[in-house]
Amino acid sequence: MPLWKPQSNEPVGQNEHLGRRLFDEPSLAGAQDQKPIARLILRHFEEKRDQQVSLDRLGRTSVEKAVVRYLRPRADRAGTRFRPPKAFNGWAVLSARKFGSPPAPPAYALTVIASPESGTDLDENIYHAHISAPPNMDYYSMALHLRELFETQGMIERVAEQGAPPQPGNRFLSLASRFREWLIKRRKR
């Protein structure tokens, strides 16, 4: 299948899958036996530069491998710009429809806007999109809201380390999803 290239004026479709980049986050200094955190880290969703939260358009109806191959070097390069540099681990993925129809009344409906970035080589990203925070919402509240959306209704698209064999991806993070998977496995016995 050829690489999907959205036109610069093409709006984000309701079925499109959008991802927020996940990078390594530091853990407690000196603690060698820390258990991994079972949730997404809030820092993945904090955006202090402005009121816009950056996303990547990962596919029209699902995560498309060709689009991931295009975005991977750009995400790896973005990780080198942190001080200290961070390794890119994948995306927290959610369909565009879920941003506009949050699950509970106190949640905010958000609009995803296509905003391709032009530049040279790895600075160009034709799959870039963003969400603008509501005017009365600070960056911390927005990060909490996004983490809740991605955890309860999204999935994780992991990427293999450079040169490592690919690992299975698309694991749902919500407790309900993990419980459902456990029940299905148990029924098969």
Residue range 73-84, pLDDT digits in tens: 999 999 999 888
Separation between Cα atoms, residue 14 and residue 95, nearest integer Å? 7
Reference 7, options 78, 50, 57; nearest CA is 57
Please check whether residue 88 is in contact with residue 78, taking contact to mean a CB–CB distance below 8 angstroms: yes
Tell how far CA 68 is from the center of its chain. 12
Tens of pLDDT, residue by residue over 118-161, are 877 788 899 999 998 888 888 899 999 999 999 989 999 988 76
- The answer on pLDDT for 166 being more than 50 is no
pLDDT of residue 56: 95
pLDDT of residue 177: 62
Most confidently modeled of 38-42, 70-74, 178-182? Answer: 70-74
Separation between Cα atoms, residue 123 and residue 59, nearest integer Å? 20
pLDDT range class, residue 162, cuts 50, 70, 90: low
Q: What is the mean pLDDT of residues 12-20?
A: 94
- The dihedral built from the CA positions of residue 118, 8, 160 and 49, taken in this order, carries a sign that is positive
Which strands sit side by side in the sheet containing 171-172, from one edge to the other?
A: 112-114, 128-132, 52-59, 17-23, 88-95, 155-158, 171-172
- The answer on pLDDT for 17 being more than 60 is yes
Tens of pLDDT, residue by residue over 82-110, are 888 999 999 999 999 999 887 666 667 89
pLDDT range class, residue 5, cuts 50, 70, 90: confident
pLDDT of residue 170: 42
